[in-house]
Amino acid sequence: MHFSIIIPALLSSSALGLAVPQAEDSKLMERFDGPGASLEEGFTTPQDTTPGESYRVHLDDDEVANHTKVYMNLESIGVGDDTSSAFWRVTCEGSSLNEIDADIAINLLITGCGSGHFDVPPYDHYYIISGKVASYFCNNNSGQPTCNATVIREQIRDRVSGRCGDYKAGWARWDGSNGHVSVGYQNVDSENFFCGRNH
């Protein structure tokens, strides 16, 4: 049966406040690997991703990016590491983004993280694609930083757009004692890596 796949997903996802399909819905769960990833550079988004869906990525010891479709739950699940008042620095990637795709990708991430706290587990990354634009919350940190609507709005809409220009790719990075968090948006293709240690 599919229980060997579903049980670990349920155990890990229940701690995240994420909803995953039950055994009878296992055909709806999407999992796939993306080789060519690295802890330094991060990963690219595979062609198998479905626009408008949320994905969790965890890099394994062999530097393969394991992508799993998740359903973000807007319930508060606790209080994670506070990144809202931390010092963030912005990096501009510079490429132009499709305005409609960028707005949708950001709004989907805002909705996914919600107004409550969404505590992102250590070294987990989340992204959402709209058209050819991905918005993301990357945790290269041994702690559990908080993703919420305010963090996404302030960092992408206000700081990245304010520094890089409207609809220009870039990200904001917060460096803490346990690693860093990056939040941003960029074009999706096989050359654009994100969520790496250098990102």
Count other C-beta atoms under 10 Å from residue 11's C-beta: 9
Round to whole Å and give the CA distance between 148 and 172: 15
Quote the pTM value.
0.70
pLDDT tens digits for 10-42?
333 333 343 333 333 333 345 445 555 555 566
Query: In 3-state terms, what secondary structure has residue 175?
Result: strand
Give the residue, 82 or 129, on which the prediction is more confident. 129
Give the model's pLDDT for residue 4: 35
Of residues 32, 35, 22, the one with CA closest to residue 53: 32
Q: Which two tokens stand for residue 177?
A: 């004692």
Q: What is the DSSP string of 67-103?
A: EEEEEE--S-----B--TTS-EEEEEEEEE--HHHHH
Give the model's pLDDT for residue 1: 39
pLDDT tens digits for 124-146?
888 888 998 989 888 888 888 88
On whether the CB atoms of residues 154 and 174 are closer than 8 A, the answer is no
The domain spans of the chain are 3-195
In this model, does residue 191 exceed pLDDT 50?
A: yes
Give the residue, 162 or 126, on which the prediction is more confident. 162
